[in-house]
Amino acid sequence: MYNCARYATGFVLLLAAGMFMYVYYFNYNDLFVLPAGRHRNYHANYNNSVRSTLATLNVSWPLTVVFWTSFFGSHDRFNLEYTEETCAFPTDLTRLPHPGPVTIWCKVFHVREQQQDRQKALDTAGMLVFHIRDTRVDKLPKNRRLSQPWVSFTMEAPVSDFRSGHDGKIVVPDQMRQFDFVSSYRLDSDVPTPYISSKSLLDSISAPLTLEDFHRRHSINRGQSPVLWVASNCGAYNGREKYVKELAKHVPVDMLGNCLRSGPYPGTMPLADLIRQYKFYLALENSSCMDYVSEKMFDAFQAGAIPIVSGPPGANGSGYRNFVPSHESAIYLDNYPNPIDLAAELRRIDGDSELWLRRQAFRGNSSRWSADFRAVWGHQNSEWFSCGLCRLAARERNKNITDHDDLIMNSKESNGLAAGPARLKGALVNVDYSCQKRGSLAPKV
């Protein structure tokens, strides 16, 4: 009889311990780690009442978004703090409590190289960000918290970012599947990161240009070049320098960068002030990929020059439809069969103030903006880059509190890596398929 009671007591204690571990495991999943490279998988279904009771127990402010790598070698590029006023806290969260209007609810910063700092980031950060250009496969954390998303971040075209792997850098596709989200220049990435903010762009096109602005700029009629090009990379993937070299045979082009230099850059003059002296600015990207629009075109808009663009592929400039205020606000290199035809068009516009000002009519007149441009740039987008990373970190924290559905490892592993989410394949890994082949801008003469 005594033995039966003892066994019964032991069974009850064992059952209680099992129930405790069940609740503890599924509500404090930060304590459980997976080997790096194994992806979270969403298949669990747990007790809602238990989740509701413990919903706020593992939440503290601020959430932290930590850059695990440098940014082109710098560990000081990002150091930001957000309150509700500077970055709106998501309003659609069901469990994560609102931090309040003045609380610093998110910080974005680089982790230092010291081991204790890096371990603290692994233990506490709400999100880790990896700049792909500075990421080495052998330097990724060996273990990861289940509720800690990893974000791959890049501002470079894939043909520049992804190498052969001989130097230890990230290569696609399998190694990219170690990341949960993508932040890149592409507007369809999880956290888009354009080269300019909405406010900066809209401020730069808020005032109209006049006939005086036209006459103030260089003109062929005065024996000076109407076209400026400033570039340092003379080995661009798409061969843009070959096109510019041929174009300069048919219309004067001042080439004041390190590539095809035709004259010295004027001292320490800011680029914007230099561009203001010209009617046209060659804003040619070094790679022709979907949504890859760097600062070059925006520099032209800010300085009042008409950008001559070549980058995102698409017939009749359609690849730029989300980036230009109106179709006429840019000149699309691909619309001209060869540099001779483009040169003729530039000469025509340079000699006609009405034509030049017509292409500037979008300035100070939002009714002339296209619907596509207005949808992307017509408001300050809180889902972009650093604020977007914070909002994503909050949503992921809320998801972990409510669903705890990131605890089961994906069983379909390949070479030690899980088959990551489908969105990665469209957002970054397969972005190579949107890029035109090497030398695509070789002149057609």
Phi, psi of 144 (to 5 degrees): -140, 145
Residue 15's pLDDT is what?
61
Question: Which one, of 61, 38, 56, lies nearest residue 150 by Cα?
Answer: 38
Instruction: Please state which of the ranges 154-163, 322-331, 369-378 shows the lowest mean pLDDT.
Output: 154-163
Residue 136's pLDDT is what?
81
Q: What is the dihedral of CA 240, 245, 249, 252, to 10 degrees?
A: 80
Greatest extent of the chain over all pairs of C-alpha atoms, in Å: 113
Residue 20's pLDDT is what?
53
> Residue 53: pLDDT above 60?
no
Strand order through the sheet with 150-154: 79-82, 106-110, 63-67, 127-131, 150-154, 181-184
Hey, what are 428's tokens?
């970054």
Q: From the CA atom positions of the chain, what is the Rg in Å?
A: 27
**Predicted structure pTM score:** 0.79
What domains lie within the chain, and their CATH numbers?
8-191+381-434 (no CATH), 198-377 (3.40.50.11660)
CB-based contacts of 328: which residues, under 8 Å, 6+ apart?
A: 358, 359, 361, 362
Percent pLDDT > 70 in the chain is 74
